[in-house]
Amino acid sequence: MSQTKPNDEQSISLVTELIGLPIENAIWNAAGALCTTEKELHNLGQSQSGVILSKSCTLDPREGNPLPRYWCSERAPFMTINSTGLANQGYKFYGKMGYQLSAEYDKPYIISVSGLSIEDNLNIIKELQGKCHAIELNLSCPNVIGKPQIGYDFDATQDLLNQVFSIPELNTPLGLKMPPYFDLTHFDQMADIINQFPISFITCINSLGNGLIIDPIEEKAVIKPKNGLGGIGGSIVKPIALSNVYNFRKRLNSKIDVIGCGGVRTGWDVFEHILAGATAVQVGSQLVEEGTSCFERIQKELKEIMRIKGYLKLEDFRGKLQSM
Ligand code: DHB
């Protein structure tokens, strides 16, 4: 048998630490991507996904928006659009799944919460205490008619977080799913708010809200809800995602992890997110297109990149983006 060389794939680790737990593989699903049903959650459990993250849930189950509400095409493999409208089975279902999933899989279960009001969010967060390893509170769903993205309203975000962190029974780690920001003053203002609270992590970014993809042959939008407006994902959002990871990492206190999400298709994309400062990386559009086998492939690709560069662990290059 040949001896293991120090830079063999086997000696390269993708372990990361989040919410005080070691996580075997720093790559997992984005909320919304193949994580709504019992079967989908089990598929994530059985896959190489480092975490099982649920679909954003509301107080009551929801059918969501009319179909078609998701679009992806080989003609434009670099972008997707979705307007699911928070179709989900209600928070009680995702809470119950915690017992099953924790018994079967040795990986954390995180529930994404997207209540339709402050009161709903507070109630759901209270009820989910002890039923999951963490909650990812969604400040950025763009697809419910009449409900603006709270993360773009700084006063409303401050108010919501004041109330969340006043919940007496709060002991489950809490993260935030952020919308994309495009102006440096917005990073400053939002980081000032987030730094006031014992937040475990933020995830950057949600889709680019209210985009419009047009089919010029049909002279129609490609999805039905909101006259075709929906959240844009896929490779084209990667530069915005990387900038958000980088800008928040620079501004947040070091106890708050930043999870990268946006435009991740390959090991190189994960590598770039981690270089920008991400503790872990989520996969959305590519997971929907490829299925859960994407995790194994992306991990393999990342390990090969690390092997060639001589890195053994993620800390060897995390946040080490160089200036020109
Ligand atoms: C939906 C889309 C999002 O981007 C999100 O954060 C939550 C829900 C949706 O349309 O279901």
The confidence score (pLDDT) of residue 4 equals 47
**Ligand 1 pocket check: which of 113, 121, 141, 229 to mutate, most ligand atoms within 8 Å of Cβ?**
141
Q: How many helices (H) and strands (E) does the chain have?
A: 9, 16
Closest residue by Cα to residue 231 from 240, 219, 242, 243: 240
Segments in the chain below pLDDT 50: 1-4
* Ligand 1 centroid to residue 12 C-alpha, Å: 35
Residue by residue, what is the 3-state secondary structure of 167-183?
A: CCCCCCCEEEEECCCCC
The conformational region for residue 277 under phi > 0 = left, psi -120 to 50 = alpha, else beta, is left
Strands 134-138 and 109-113: parallel
> Which atom in ligand 1 lies closest to the alpha carbon of residue 64?
11
* pLDDT tens-place string over residues 137-189: 999 999 998 899 999 999 999 999 999 999 999 999 999 999 999 999 999 99
170 φ, ψ to 5°? -65, 115
The confidence score (pLDDT) of residue 2 equals 43
d(CA 173, CA 166): 14
The helix (run of H) or strand (run of E) holding residue 113 is strand 109-113
Residue where the block lists tokens 């008619």: 145
DSSP result, 25-38:
-SEEEPTTSS-SSH
The confidence score (pLDDT) of residue 5 equals 52
Local structure of 57: helix, strand or coil: strand
**143 in ligand 1 pocket by Cβ < 6 Å?**
yes
134 Cβ contact partners less than 8 Å away, ≥ 6 residues apart? 18, 19, 108, 110, 111, 172, 173, 174, 175, 200, 201
Amino acid at 218: E
The helix (run of H) or strand (run of E) holding residue 184 is helix 184-194
The confidence score (pLDDT) of residue 145 equals 87
* Ligand 1 centroid to residue 286 C-alpha, Å: 16
DSSP result, 210-234:
EEE-EETTTTEESS-GGGGEEEEES
* Gyration radius of the chain over CA positions: 19
* pLDDT tens-place string over residues 124-146: 999 999 999 999 999 999 999 88
What pairs with residue 111 in β-bridges? 135
**Predicted model pTM:** 0.97
